[in-house]
């Protein structure tokens, strides 16, 4: 493991202890082999002058759930050390009371809640302390002879603590073991099946010890396992599961259409059990595939996680999908989880939902589930590290030591998963669990929008994203991937008149997010006005292809996936020209009318599958690239009106904004129109001819 300490960069923080604490904490946080998504913690002890002018010893410790990679000064919690030291001396208190007393020791009312391991930082008599869940170290401890293996690798350099669930009991255990011990004889402390602490009198020493110790563990595993020294590290949720060749999207997966449908069905079933829509992120990197193909995968993968700290994200074990009966295997997981709860509950806990958070798909890799892109990405990261750790432990063939994956017992896992204070880690920053009244309408939903690089399409994408959906935008514009650059967005350059390109784009959507729930057919063209007798064949044919054939083809490709969607909905972007056509616009109005008829028939055909199909007829939408100042001037002149008069020629004397059209699309795709299909809704400020 590379030591990232930069003396020149660190020098600028020498005069500010908390800034130095931020600097070295971020060095740890940026390495996912050390900590993942809010895991681990760091601290520093200082002497400060309080409000009354008195000196007091203060422990600054990372706030609970804060991500070390992005930690700021105000993410550290100042606590009075004298209070914490008194707490440690108590023989027994509940974790709830411990946290209550810790909170009373906080000297800044605006600080976050302190880490549950603040008392451990109190006990260790060093100024600078770092704690991580380093994969390599914990992998060594998660073996049948973990403690002996740690001694083999590190000799007497590390204090070894048997597994105790984080909280007061762990702090008390460490206190009892070390009360009369000389800490100077150790460079760190290993908590079996949990993680590692290092410490020092300055930030560089503590950080350096962490890197040295983890490097030793990594080197030992590399020399004594059959796996390659460097496992592939692919950030799945940051990597689009497609590649581009000559501007075209091509599959980068061994999933054919049948398996893509299976992925959509897996997502649907898991969402059904969870009680809310979930994304399904597929990881098919070589390590995930190798893991999924292990002959004893069901037995190995269901022993437990790397560390109990991951439980609130992943549950104790993944689902193992049966290729012969996918849905039944997910039901079996739910039944198994319920049985696990009944085996260990004391009757006071309430069973959490029984849906898996990740699954092993034999022959394909792993699938990670989450109610939003952040949550599913976190699960995907943890699953990937778990896969690597299990494979290393299973392939360990060291002299005098047998390998094998052996994390903590099921009883310990239950205690950690159902520890009420651990759930608090889900609330800060991530908003993974929120009050149901604040859950976005489309959280966990997957949408495709054609013609999404600008105008109404882009407005729809942003509105759906704001309301919780992940959004895939299709457009001929090569800048679409840059336009759709926010988290939860995927922009694909796609000619919607090319059926193969459309199939590839829809497949990419399902590979990337797990399915499809919402389809907005927005791509279109508005040809220059021509009367029927003047119209050229090319104008007519092009408009028919883009405005009628293209939406039919895209809908056709999407229907199999919409059938597996969650409250699936289709919105056609037609036109005011359908109910109220104008002279000289046959090339536009006719295919739009055909599109409307297509939508009506689709509503009739797809209703039995629960797919709603509705039509929107916009007009007077002038904040798009179509309506340039010159185009507005020409149109106004045709009616002998000024531009302002032309823009307000409807009954309500107002123009319509793209955002307002987007809001209507969201209404039609959401619960407002849950009982409506086949409807045609004008959004035009009121048109006499339409009315």
- Looking at 18-74, which runs of residues are DSSP E strands? 41-49, 55-62
Average of per-residue pLDDT across 229-234: 42
> Hey, what are 442's tokens?
């489309």
List strands edge to edge, sheet with 358-361: 279-283, 365-370, 358-361, 319-320
> Hey, what are 619's tokens?
């007009």
Question: For residue 584, what pLDDT is reported?
Answer: 87
Segment 10-50, tens digit of pLDDT = 999 999 999 999 999 999 999 999 998 888 999 999 999 99
pLDDT category, 627, cuts 50, 70, 90?
confident
Segment 563-587, tens digit of pLDDT = 999 999 999 999 999 999 988 889 9
Segment 322-341, tens digit of pLDDT = 999 999 999 999 999 999 99
pLDDT at 249 over 80: no
> Hey, what are 595's tokens?
């599109």
CATH architecture observed for domain 236-421: 3-Layer(aba) Sandwich (3.40)
Determine the Cα–Cα distance for residues 170 and 450; give it in Å rounded to an integer: 55
Among 171-175, 267-271, 310-314, the least confident range: 310-314
Residue scoring higher pLDDT (239 or 147): 147
- Against a cut of 0.85, is the pTM above it? yes
Determine the Cα–Cα distance for residues 45 and 327; give it in Å rounded to an integer: 53
pLDDT category, 227, cuts 50, 70, 90?
low
Residues of the chain with CATH 3.40.50.720: 446-621+656-683
Share of the chain above pLDDT 70, in %: 93
Cα 3 to its chain centre, rounded Å, is 29
Question: For residue 422, what pLDDT is reported?
Answer: 55
pLDDT at 426 over 80: no
pLDDT at 360 over 50: yes
- What CATH topology corresponds to 446-621+656-683? Rossmann fold (3.40.50)
Question: For residue 235, what pLDDT is reported?
Answer: 43
Residue scoring higher pLDDT (574 or 230): 574
For residues 657 and 625, the answer to whether their CB atoms sit within 8 Å is no
Candidates 3.40.225.10, 2.60.40.10, 3.30.565.10, 3.40.50.620; CATH matching 7-224: 3.40.225.10
Average of per-residue pLDDT across 263-286: 97
Residue-level length of the chain: 691
Share of the chain above pLDDT 90, in %: 83
pLDDT at 238 over 80: no
pLDDT at 226 over 80: no
pLDDT at 234 over 70: no
pLDDT at 594 over 80: yes
Question: For residue 254, what pLDDT is reported?
Answer: 53
Question: For residue 536, what pLDDT is reported?
Answer: 92
pLDDT category, 138, cuts 50, 70, 90?
very high
Determine the Cα–Cα distance for residues 32 and 24; give it in Å rounded to an integer: 15
């Amino acid at each position: 493991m590379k030591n990232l300490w930069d003396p020149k960069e660190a020098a600028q923080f020498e005069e500010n202890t908390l800034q130095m604490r931020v600097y070295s904490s971020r060095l740890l946080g940026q390495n996912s082999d050390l900590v993942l998504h809010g895991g681990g913690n760091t601290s520093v002890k200082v002497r400060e002058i309080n409000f009354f002018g008195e000196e007091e010893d203060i422990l600054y410790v990372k706030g609970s759930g804060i991500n070390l990679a992005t930690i700021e000064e105000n993410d550290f919690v100042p606590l009075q050390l004298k209070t914490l030291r008194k707490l440690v001396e108590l023989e027994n208190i509940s974790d709830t009371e411990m946290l209550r007393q810790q909170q009373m020791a906080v000297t800044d009312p605006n600080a976050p809640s302190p880490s549950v391991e603040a008392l451990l930082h109190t006990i260790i008599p060093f100024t600078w302390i770092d704690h991580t869940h380093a994969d390599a170290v914990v992998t060594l401890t998660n073996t049948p002879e973990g403690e002996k293996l740690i001694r083999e690798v590190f000799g007497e350099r590390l204090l070894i603590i048997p597994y105790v669930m984080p909280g007061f009991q762990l702090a008390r255990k460490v206190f009892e073991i070390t009360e009369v011990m000389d800490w100077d004889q150790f460079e760190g402390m290993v908590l079996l099946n949990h993680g590692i602490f290092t410490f020092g009198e300055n930030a560089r020493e503590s950080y350096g010890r962490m890197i040295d110790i983890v490097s030793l563990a990594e080197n030992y595993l590399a020399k004594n396992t059959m796996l390659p020294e460097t496992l592939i590290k692919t950030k799945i949720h940051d990597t689009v599961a497609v590649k581009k060749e000559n501007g075209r999207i091509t599959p980068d997966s061994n999933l054919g259409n049948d398996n893509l449908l299976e992925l959509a069905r897996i997502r649907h079933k898991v969402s059904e059990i969870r009680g809310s829509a979930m994304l399904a992120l597929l990881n098919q990197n070589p390590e995930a595939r190798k893991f999924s193909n292990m002959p004893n995968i069901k037995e190995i993968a269901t022993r437990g996680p790397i560390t109990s700290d991951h439980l609130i994200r992943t549950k104790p074990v993944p689902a193992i999908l049966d290729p012969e009966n996918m849905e039944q295997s997910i039901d079996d997981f739910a039944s198994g989880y319920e049985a696990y709860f009944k085996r260990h509950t004391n009757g006071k806990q309430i069973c959490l939902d029984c849906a898996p958070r990740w699954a092993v798909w034999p022959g394909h890799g792993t699938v990670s589930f989450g109610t939003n892109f952040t949550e599913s990405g976190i699960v995907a990261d943890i699953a990937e590290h778990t896969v690597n750790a299990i494979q290393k432990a299973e392939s360990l063939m060291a002299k005098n030591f047998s390998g094998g994956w052996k994390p903590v017992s099921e009883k310990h896992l239950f205690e950690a998963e159902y520890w009420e204070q651990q759930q608090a880690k889900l609330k800060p920053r991530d908003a993974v669990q929120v009050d149901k009244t604040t859950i976005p309408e489309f959280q966990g939903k997957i949408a495709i929008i054609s013609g999404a690089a600008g105008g109404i399409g882009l407005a729809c994408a942003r509105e759906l994203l704001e309301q919780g959906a992940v959004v895939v935008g299709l457009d001929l514009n090569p800048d679409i991937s840059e336009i759709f650059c926010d988290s939860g967005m995927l922009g694909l350059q796609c000619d919607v008149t090319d059926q193969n390109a459309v199939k590839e784009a829809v497949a990419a959507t399902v590979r990337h997010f797990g399915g499809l729930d919402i389809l907005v057919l927005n791509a279109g063209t508005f040809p220059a006005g021509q009367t029927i007798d003047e119209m050229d064949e090319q104008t007519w044919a092009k408009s028919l292809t883009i405005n009628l054939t293209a939406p039919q083809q895209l809908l056709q490709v999407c229907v199999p996936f919409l059938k597996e969607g969650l409250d699936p909905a289709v919105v056609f972007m037609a036109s005011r020209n359908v109910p109220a056509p104008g002279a000289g616009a046959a090339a536009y109005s006719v295919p739009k009318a055909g599109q409307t008829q297509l939508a009506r028939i689709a509503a009739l055909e797809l209703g039995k599958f629960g797919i709603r199909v509705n039509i929107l007829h916009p007009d007077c939408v002038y904040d798009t690239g179509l309506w340039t100042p010159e185009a507005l001037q020409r149109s106004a002149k045709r009616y002998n009106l000024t531009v302002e008069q032309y823009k307000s020629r409807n009954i309500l004397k107002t123009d319509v904004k793209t955002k307002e059209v987007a809001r209507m699309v969201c209404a039609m795709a959401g619960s407002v129109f849950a009982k409506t299909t086949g409807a045609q809704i004008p959004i035009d400020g009121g048109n006499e001819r339409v009315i």
